[in-house]
Amino acid sequence: MGNWIINHGLTYFILVVWMAINTFLFVWFYFLYDLGDRFIYTRHILGSALSWARAPAAVLNFNCMLILLPVCRNLLSLIRGSFMCCGRTIRKQLDKNISFHKLVAYMIALMTAVHIIAHLVNAERYYNSRHGDYDELSTALSNLGDTANTTYLNPIRSLSTTPILLVFTSIAGLTGVVITLALILMITSSMEVIRRSYFEVFWFTHHLFIVFFAGLVFHGAGRIVRGQTATDPPHDPKHCDDEVDEWGMEENCPIPQFAGGFPQTWMWVIGPMVLYVCERLLRFVRYLQSVQYRKVSIVIRPSKVLELQLMKNGFKMDVGQYVFLNCPSISQLEWHPFTMTSAPEEDFFSVHIRSAGDWTQKLISVVEQLPAGAQGPKMSVDGPFGTASEDVFDYEVAMLVGAGIGVTPFASVLKSIWYKSKESNPKLSTRKIYFYWLCRETHAFEWFADLLQVLEREMEERGMGDFLTYKLFLTGWDQSQATHVMVHADKDTDVITGLKQKTNYGRPNWDKEFEQIADVHEWKVVGTFLCGPAALASVLAKKCVKYTDVDPRKTKFYFNQENF
């Protein structure tokens, strides 16, 4: 239990607090409307559907306040960079921003469904009450006048108004329809299969959040749920509900008056909306800034990996960070994230782009059609933004795991180490790095093997041969490749990569790897970093828990994953 708390305790504590706030808001507002004296007459018509409509609304306000904050990339990077004193465990929570964004979205979807169903029941009950289908009190309440738009209770003011007509003609109903349609489109287009195969569909529909928030601000202005207001003398429903015919004639039972509550949603969301507008303005300014290519700046690898080397005035990065790229000739609006493979010590920044999806395929096609020596297409850059890999050098021992193109953040880390090793007195708190790279195909190793060869040679020359231990794993191969490897098995270097470290075939035995590291590095905290698929993340997270020992004299593994 203790090892689980070390790795996941703070994350789940935050989730428990978030869930507790949601639960408190739901229960508080449910009983406010279910027991409050102001809503005695409203409950008489609507029953418990009133509380089931208003309680989710309160939860929606809270979560709509939160939903934009995890996607304010510049705000998160500022927090990560400005509050290093908060500790890596707290900073690690910032790397889960997209997961939290999704969780909040699911809560919004759930509460929206409950809110809609309850209000559909309310509309039907208002209609039936207006037509005298209930008792005498309900009919009397529905027939109250509309003096100065303050005294009526039932929003259906005419016998010809149907529940459907109420939905599509009232402010609350019409904005509710718009909000719901926008939410459905945003959630369905965010499914993994659509986001990966049709990113443009996801990108454009997700920007319906503008419509969603605009409708949200005006939704409460309809004031469709009304409660009793004070009269002089006061009207007490507990004593006057049986004297409907004498309302207004008895001194103690004046005609009751009703009014809708003051709209509150805008007060919940105005702060995050202002922050997000500032975020988008900053992104627009960066969009306008000029980006140049280096002289030898574009390389297309046989594995369909495009390398771009770019330069931008005032651009400063840290290891493992990422940027968003925009190519106006492909799309003025689309921005896609890519981890930088360059080191902070270099006077340029580079990205490696694998052909995966329409946008990347179009970019590679544009570059392939350029004449020799020509500059690449115009690019805009937003960033850099912080990730978990920034914390690599905070650990004395680091375990880096990359899958396929997921090796990119660690290319930046290893390049930075190479530059630091060339210094006469390198300032490195990290004493040991274990690097694992998993690839399906042999040609995927090509672009990164050169860096490893240089790093391997430099480390040996400087007496730091033990600093880096790397293992490459080929997870897919055919019979001809296996035969070729067997024939050249006695060579000093690997036949695929040219490295001294031979390529392993198959997947790593993670239990064996973790056991070995734990045995060698007692008393140490090992930072485990992954850039790869969710399935591998699940495996490594479990291994970190399994091999973390609460005994301070034993090894502890902290799991960190790239999320963007």
CB atoms within 10 A of CB 400: 25
CATH class of the domain whose range is 289-385: mainly beta
**Residues 128, 122: Cα–Cα separation, whole Å:** 10
The region that residue 149 occupies, defined by phi over 0 for left and psi between -120 and 50 for alpha, beta otherwise, is: left
State the pTM of this model: 0.82
pLDDT for the residue numbered 494: 58
76-to-139, 251, 276 alpha-carbon distances in Å: 55, 62, 12
**Residues 517, 401: Cα–Cα separation, whole Å:** 14
Rg (CA), the chain: 31
**Residues 252, 243: Cα–Cα separation, whole Å:** 11
Domain(s) labelled CATH 2.40.30.10 in the chain stretch across 289-385
Q: Facing residues of 385 across strands?
A: 322
pLDDT for the residue numbered 488: 46
pLDDT for the residue numbered 264: 87
Domain(s) labelled CATH 3.40.50.80 in the chain stretch across 388-479+492-561
**Residues 467, 543: Cα–Cα separation, whole Å:** 23
pLDDT for the residue numbered 453: 72
CB atoms within 10 A of CB 452: 22
CA neighbours closer than 13 Å in the CB half-sphere of residue 231: 21
pLDDT for the residue numbered 369: 82
**Residues 309, 351: Cα–Cα separation, whole Å:** 7
**Residues 439, 507: Cα–Cα separation, whole Å:** 10
Q: Which fold has domain 388-479+492-561?
A: Rossmann fold (3.40.50)
For 25-39, the three-class secondary structure string (H helix, E strand, C coil) is HHHHHHHHHHHCHHH
CB atoms within 10 A of CB 60: 23
Whether the Cβ atoms of residue 536 and residue 403 lie closer than 8 Å to each other:
yes
Q: Facing residues of 438 across strands?
A: 403, 473
Whether the Cβ atoms of residue 344 and residue 290 lie closer than 8 Å to each other:
no
- Give pLDDT tens digits along the chain (564 positions): 555 666 677 888 899 999 999 999 999 999 999 998 899 999 999 999 999 999 999 999 999 999 999 988 888 888 776 655 556 667 777 778 888 999 999 999 999 999 999 999 999 999 999 998 888 888 888 888 876 556 888 888 888 888 888 888 888 889 999 999 999 999 999 888 887 777 778 888 999 999 999 999 998 887 888 888 888 888 888 888 777 887 877 777 888 888 888 888 889 999 999 999 999 898 888 888 888 887 666 777 666 778 888 888 888 888 888 899 988 888 887 888 888 888 888 888 888 888 777 788 888 888 888 877 777 888 889 888 888 788 888 888 889 998 877 777 888 888 887 777 776 556 677 788 898 888 776 665 666 676 677 776 766 776 666 778 888 888 766 555 555 455 444 555 555 555 666 677 778 899 998 988 888 888 888 888 888 888 888 898 888 888 887 666 678 888 888 766
The region that residue 47 occupies, defined by phi over 0 for left and psi between -120 and 50 for alpha, beta otherwise, is: left
